[in-house]
Amino acid sequence: MTYDVVIIGAGSMGMAAGYYLSKANKSIALIDKYDSPHSEGSHHGESRIIRHAYGEGEKYVPLALRSQKLWQEMEWEAKIFLF
């Protein structure tokens, strides 16, 4: 089988990349060490947050705000609320 994109790591970022690529009609393969869902990822559990301030620099803030909007759109579409 062939794919347009192969994503190594099916955590938060890999899944999000796969989600948006599939919405763009790309065929994808997600490869991860563990079966989903699992508790081995850095974003597992009830302690998820989205920061609006970053010590790494002000360029992160617009990305964080856009990311939060995209998470909210995904929640609405899936009817599953994460935050």
pTM (two decimals): 0.65
> Are 75 and 48 contacting, i.e. CB atoms less than 8 angstroms apart?
no
Distance CA(26)–CA(4), nearest Å, equals 6
For every one of its 83 residues, what pLDDT tens digit does the chain have, with 9 covering 90 and above? 999 999 999 887 888 899 999 999 999 999 998 877 777 766 666 666 777 777 777 888 888 889 889 888 888 988 987 76
